[in-house]
Amino acid sequence: MGKTLYLLSSGSLKRKDNTLFVERVGEKPRFLPVETTDEIMVMGELDLNKSLLEFLTQKQIILHFFNYHGYYAGTYYPREHMNSGAVILAQAAHYTDEARRHKLASTLIVGAIENMRKVVAYYQRRASLDVEDILSDLERFEAMAPQSGSVPALMGIEGNARNRYYQFFDRLVQDEAFKMVERTRRPPSNRMNALISFLNSMCYILALSQIYRTHLDPRIGFLHETNFRRFSLNLDLAEIFKPILVDRLIFSLVNRREIQEKHFEKETGGGIYLNDRGREIVLRAWETRVNETIEHPRLKRNVSYRGLMRMEAYKIQKHILDDTPYDPFVSRW
């Protein structure tokens, strides 16, 4: 599995000597190894040209762009290199078949809620928190999911479960500076919301990059409505991993005081965002986290969370091809 490159500062990226070359003002230009790169995250201002994009297409490197606030802006998704008519057809057929779509969507939600419960239970043990009420509500939502009538109803259950789950954040995090009170987006109204939004989008992007390496089409999601906007399958996939990757990382960053008040800024328009320093800390922690390995229970070998995400995509692919029914990844602790 290749590496992820983060371009935080501004400059230009080009193809030179058949590899990648970055130039920045006031700093020495640098060559970057193209053969070991899988994806590039562009946070700063970047000049690039078409020959670079052609080169990236040839090397199957995916490019993600973020705006000034660190919001996801878009992706250069190179020409599909894993073409499979059979998978696309199966995926579309699975989407249009209401009953089968509902089944897969509810499995995704059950997996997501189960991972939320694992996170809550972990901190209940570790910090001896009083969270029985949240745990039992989550359990109730989890049981409701397979019985719900439609996919929109499922989305409702998911939303309710997540709201309840977010109440656990304020019980765990004692630091007043990181109280969430309620979940707000666009713009995030406080530091906790800013962290959640930023890392959630990193999780969606991670899922998208992994889907690119499978035969699946990221535009056809099952839980999230397929529409004219953009990718949705990656949102489905990320749902399973958000509690384990995003939320756990937030708690450790905040509780260890690696991320502090000084890493945020208030912007005109009322939103609170990570500043450059804060963003770099979070991204380094994120990159370390997704490269962390765990022993896979069935394969009996170490797999990184990034690899696990890819395997999750393969599992969905197998499910829609009627090979093996999808069984979501659930963390064991």
Partner 1 sequence: MFYDVGEKRVGKVLKTARRYLTWIQNSVLEGDLSPATFEALKIDVRKILDLQYDSVLFYAWRTERYMSREVVGVERGCTDFMV
Among 5, 202, 206, 208, binds partner 1 (CB under 8 A): 5
Dihedrals phi, psi of 182, to nearest 5 degrees: -145, 160
Residue ranges of alpha helices (H) inside the chain are 50-58, 85-96, 98-127, 132-144, 151-172, 191-212, 233-241, 248-255, 276-291, 305-320
Q: How many residues bind partner 1 (CB under 8 A)?
A: 24
Q: Which of 135, 287, 303, 321 binds partner 1 (CB under 8 A)?
A: 287
Smallest gap from Cβ 244 to partner 1, in A, equals 23
When binding is defined by CB under 8 A, the residue of 12, 14, 24, 314 that contacts partner 1 is 24
133, burial (CB in 10 Å: exposed 0-12, middle 13-18, buried 19+): exposed
Dist. CA 236–CA 219, nearest whole Å: 11
Under the binding rule (CB under 8 A), the answer on residue 18 touching partner 1 is yes
Does residue 31 interact with partner 1 by CB under 8 A? Answer: yes
Which tokens is 179 given?
């109280």
Torsion over CA: 195, 196, 199, 202 (sign):
negative
Shortest distance (Å) from residue 74 CB to partner 1: 21
Q: Can you tell me the distance from the alpha carbon of 155 to that of 151, in angstroms, rounded to the nearest whole number?
A: 6
Binding segment (CB under 8 A) for partner 1, from list 6-14, 68-76, 119-127, 321-329: 6-14
Residues 41-60 that bind partner 1 (CB under 8 A): none
Q: Decide if 53 contacts 68 (C-beta within 8 A).
A: no
Task: Give the range of 11-19, 91-99, 235-243, 321-329 binding partner 1 by CB under 8 A.
Answer: 11-19
168 counts as binding partner 1 under rule CB under 8 A: no
Residue 59 CB, shortest distance to partner 1, in Å, is 10
Question: Least distance from C-beta 52 to partner 1, angstroms?
Answer: 15
Q: For partner 1, which is the closer residue by CB, 153 or 303?
A: 303
Minimum distance from residue 7 beta carbon to partner 1 (Å): 6
Smallest Cα–Cα separation from 254: which of 182, 319, 326, 191? 191
Q: 157 and 109 in contact (C-beta within 8 Å)?
A: yes
Binding residues among 267-286 for partner 1 as defined by CB under 8 A:
280, 283-284
Q: Which strands, in side-by-side order, build the sheet including 19-23?
A: 30-32, 19-23, 11-16, 46-47
Using CB under 8 A as the binding rule, whether residue 8 contacts partner 1 is answered as yes
- Options 12, 14, 19, 103; binder of partner 1; rule CB under 8 A: 19
What is the spatial distance between Cα 282 and Cα 23, in angstroms, rounded to a whole number? Answer: 24
Q: How far is the CB of 308 from partner 1 (least distance, A)?
A: 18
Residues within the interface to partner 1 (CB under 8 A):
1, 3-9, 17-19, 22, 24, 30-36, 280, 283-284, 287
